[in-house]
Chain A
Amino acid sequence: MKLLRGVYEGPQSYGILRVAASIRGVHTLLRTLPGEAYFRPLYGARERTGEMAPVTLSPLREGPDDSMAPAGNLDRDLSGVLRRHPRTEIVVLARSEASLLSGETIPIITLPEVEGTGRAPRLVTFPWEGPGMRETEAAEVALEDLIRARMHERPERSPYPTVNLFGPPIFGPGATAEYAEAERLLDMIGVEVNARVPLGANTADLGRLPRAWANLLLYREVGESATLYLQDECGMPRVTTPMIGAAGTGAALRAIGELCQLDPKSVQRTIWAELARTAKLPWYARLEPPETFQNRRVAIFGDFTYPLGLGYALAREVGLEIITCGTYLTHLERDFLFHAHTFTEGAFVEEDPDEVAARIEAAKPDLIIGTHLEEGVADSLDVPFLPLCPPVADAPFVGRPLMGYAGSSVLADALDGVLREKTIEPPGEAGMQWTDGALQEAAEVPLFLRGRARRLAEEHARQQGSREVTREIFLESRS
């Protein structure tokens, strides 16, 4: 048991819903308590398209069967889904944590035919669901299961080079934009995109995945086991280099070019043309005087692809010092540490936001790149903050990619915005003394508020003309 002030990941049902809602033609029936279902309002607030979330609730009820109550009869709810959504190809049955903990067993069900068409949609259930599983892991396995469910016959390989894009699911920051940028670049080197998975795919696309020559893994958190399955089952090679920064993007494009038997020279020409026109990160790194980046230390925290990709790009292409880099995905711990150690000494895995805040605070960074939960740390340390790693709180109308060459320019803009003004520390700052009493009081403050409290207390002491922070000054500054 942990006492937390925030969580990075949702529960497993949320992960399944994110993947299922990304694919057209999939409808999810969520077995849940009546007061537990928040996906529908969240879908509206995050997507802002006005579409209804493709999810139906099957409320779980206890106690006497009151015929007037909306009782959660699973069979009735399933046929209701088919009646109301006749075009559904796959019905996913997901269970919330309360349903899993309640110990109710789900009987083996076969879906009836849709009236008038004689077609029966496929029902996909997830026997591996467990109440302790987390969002990302569940999303990854659910995507693999959905692809398995559609893998009936092997389609022929396409006559011209094509690839599948395995990117982030719905609600990812700028998720659609990431796919679009990858597709644009592949198009330029002469490779067509066979399917975008999961976001933007339909159920038929899932069955047609083996047509492609290779899989390009943009977001490995969700696509890993699906691409491994396709590799084992259909012998499809995959490219796993994160397409973040100009170097990463170039490496991924060259790898795809090789797998698709393209002329390496023509691929290289396209890359050079893009470097001249679209990719502004190398240009930014060259234009800025070296002093801008000298002794600037960056702390990065997030999922897997984004912190690693950003870490590589910032360390190698920009020349910033990555003082610490962390992830909240505990199930990817070994892989993450392996990759992160190539550019930082301070790699770590942690899922308690307070501990993350303490780690970042101890590293004394000049810039923090993280999820929306790190905003408080940046605020308390008074350093610039870029929310570039999921989960982020805002849902902009225009999604901006972080991947590919266009993404590298977005990154250059973001860095330019926060690094341009070199902060000069006021000389008196270091001389502020703290009495023991004040330090004891400060230790009582929750971790993620401590830096801010410290700063406010020192300001207060300066206003009072005191050279040290006493217990009284500290308490006054907090009242």
Chain B
Amino acid sequence: MTILNESGIPDVLPPLHAVNGLAERLSDVLLVVVGTQAEAHLVQCLPAAPSPNLPSSQRNPRVIFAVIDPDDPPQQGLLASRIVESAAGLRGTELVLLVAGRTAESLGVDAAFEATLVARKLDLPAETVNPDAPHEVPGILSTDLEDFVLAALVKLCPKRKTSDLVETASPAKRGRLFGSLLGRGTEASDSKDSRPVVLLGGTLTPGAAQGLAAELLRAGVEVAGAVPGSGIGELPPIGEGTVVAVMDPNLTSAAAAAERRGATVVKTLMPIGVDGTARFVQDVAEEAGTRTSEVVRARSAWEDLGVLRNRIRGKRIFFTGDTGFEIPLARFLADAGAVVLEVGAPRLDRRFLAAELQALGPDVDVVVSPDYRGQTNRIDESRPDVVISSPGLHLPLVARGHLCRSPHDFLEAGLYGYGGARRILELLVRTMDRAETLDSLNL
């Protein structure tokens, strides 16, 4: 593996686009985007999940834009009282999130203060999220807002020591999501030294956390809950003694927030692909106090994938980079026999992704902060079989005759766990099959 830094301008969808998707996913959260006309227009124009298509015109009532007139910035507290007014009409709001970036700041809006006021007046938690907040490592990913929102949710998790809570809570009270799963496993894992596991991530894939929880339960690890989970009221406690298992490679801030609360963040592979899932389950189990081996299961999973692997073997795949999920995806596809030509990484946190980078095959090149024009030239030269492309490059590349898929397609299909490994390969095979059918037409 080689890591190059191109110092270019990567083609990345603005993180703010995720507001619509988050409002759909977190159905009890009111999202207030604070800024100028520009932010409101951006959120409205871009689809919830980046795709080559435009968003539907249906608006989500849980997204509100606070459009500030630059010539007449509001007085302190005015924003809060307006939010309180409009929150009154929405039933079932459990949390108010103020998304306020650089423009709100330069217009003199103190988002944290307004959030405190909102929280006091509505008697609900209110947090601020800054989509322009700098990371330790330069660069942005299109999934940054999910990361920041999850970091805010981690802050909201109950503070009590998790171990106390697990012992006192009855299985039924531990959340609808995991109730049925946990009911079976409680007796087995009553041992004193086991530590509660919280899954972090999977925002973009419905049902991802349940699937992984089932996988962990099979290995004898009980999952106490997930962030974001099924609702603000159901957030699991995170604190000293909690084991936090991060599912997504983009969650640097959320993982750091969990660490600041004293939780142990497991340093392992992302649960993507066969080996990734196996290592994830094994390492999380070990951290939680259970010893397990996934070797047998991983071997049988690879055997099950035999037919699909034959279709993928030798196929040349190029990742332009957008969501941050490219690195684990590339790791799995290289293991499955594909040739990964380049992995674009608009931001690469080497410390956070150390395990992933180590596991990446020797022939894979990672390009940090790639330049999209340079990438287009490299794609034209190397003519890959499939390009996993960012939304801005998608159409131009298709027009140049390349076969493209969006990284978000994989997220929506569900790429976690052993089942996810199959879905990833199936999605790729389906893509190539369809292209073959269309190519065979005599137009």
Tell me the A residues contacting B by CB distance below 8 Å.
1-7, 9-11, 13-14, 33-38, 40-42, 44-53, 56-57, 59, 63, 66-70, 84, 96-98, 101-103, 130-132, 134-135, 372-373, 375-376, 387, 393-395, 444-446, 448-449, 478
A365 and B208 CA atoms in complex are apart in Å by 46
A101 and B39 CA atoms in complex are apart in Å by 13
* Shortest Cβ distance from residue B174 to the other chain A in the assembled complex, whole angstroms: 25
Which of A13, A51, A63, A84 is in CB contact (< 8 Å) with B38? A13
- Once A66-B138, A130-B70, A376-B58 are accepted as A-B contacts, the answer to whether A7 and B400 lie under 8 Å apart by CB is no
* Shortest Cβ distance from residue A331 to the other chain B in the assembled complex, whole angstroms: 13
A4 near B67 with CB under 8 A, answer: yes
Most-contacted residue by chain A among B56, B67, B79 (CB, 10 A): B67
Which of A5, A38, A103, A387 is in CB contact (< 8 Å) with B14? A38
> From B54, which residue of chain A is reached at the shortest CB distance?
A45
Give chain B residues whose Cβ lies under 8 Å from the Cβ of A394.
54
Tell me the B residues contacting A by CB distance below 8 Å.
5, 7-17, 32, 35-38, 40-42, 44-47, 50, 52-59, 61, 63-74, 78-79, 82-83, 85-86, 88-91, 101-103, 106-107, 131-132, 134, 138-140, 144, 368-369, 373, 376, 391-392, 394-396, 398-400
Tally the A-B contacts, defined by beta carbons under 8 Å: 198
* Shortest Cβ distance from residue B393 to the other chain A in the assembled complex, whole angstroms: 8
A146 and B53 CA atoms in complex are apart in Å by 31
B106 near A6 with CB under 8 A, answer: no
Selected A-B contacts with CB under 8 Å, 8 pairs: A3-B65, A36-B14, A36-B16, A46-B54, A69-B7, A101-B106, A102-B102, A444-B89
A101 near B107 with CB under 8 A, answer: yes
Which of B66, B70, B86, B391 is in CB contact (< 8 Å) with A132? B70
A84 and B91 CA atoms in complex are apart in Å by 53
A13 and B42 CA atoms in complex are apart in Å by 12
A11 near B59 with CB under 8 A, answer: no
* Shortest Cβ distance from residue B11 to the other chain A in the assembled complex, whole angstroms: 7
- Once A41-B13, A68-B7 are accepted as A-B contacts, the answer to whether A7 and B37 lie under 8 Å apart by CB is yes
Which of B56, B79, B400 is in CB contact (< 8 Å) with A393? B56
- Once A44-B394, A69-B138 are accepted as A-B contacts, the answer to whether A393 and B54 lie under 8 Å apart by CB is yes
* Shortest Cβ distance from residue B17 to the other chain A in the assembled complex, whole angstroms: 7
Sort A-B residue pairs by CB-CB distance and give the 7 closest, nearest first.
A50-B399, A372-B57, A11-B38, A44-B395, A69-B138, A10-B41, A1-B74
> From B66, which residue of chain A is reached at the shortest CB distance?
A3
* Shortest Cβ distance from residue A152 to the other chain B in the assembled complex, whole angstroms: 32
A69 near B70 with CB under 8 A, answer: no
A102 near B106 with CB under 8 A, answer: yes
- Once A41-B392, A44-B394 are accepted as A-B contacts, the answer to whether A96 and B38 lie under 8 Å apart by CB is yes
Give chain A residues whose Cβ lies under 8 Å from the Cβ of B373.
84
Which of B50, B139, B394 is in CB contact (< 8 Å) with A69? B139
Give chain B residues whose Cβ lies under 8 Å from the Cβ of A41.
13, 46, 50, 391-392
A451 and B9 CA atoms in complex are apart in Å by 47
* Shortest Cβ distance from residue B86 to the other chain A in the assembled complex, whole angstroms: 6
- Once A7-B44, A393-B54, A444-B88 are accepted as A-B contacts, the answer to whether A44 and B396 lie under 8 Å apart by CB is yes
A68 and B369 CA atoms in complex are apart in Å by 9
> From A63, which residue of chain B is reached at the shortest CB distance?
B134
A55 and B425 CA atoms in complex are apart in Å by 36
Give chain B residues whose Cβ lies under 8 Å from the Cβ of A34.
12, 139-140
A252 and B396 CA atoms in complex are apart in Å by 39
* Shortest Cβ distance from residue A381 to the other chain B in the assembled complex, whole angstroms: 16
A446 near B90 with CB under 8 A, answer: yes
Give chain A residues whose Cβ lies under 8 Å from the Cβ of B8.
70
Which of A97, A376, A449 is in CB contact (< 8 Å) with B103? A97
A376 and B373 CA atoms in complex are apart in Å by 40
* Shortest Cβ distance from residue B371 to the other chain A in the assembled complex, whole angstroms: 8
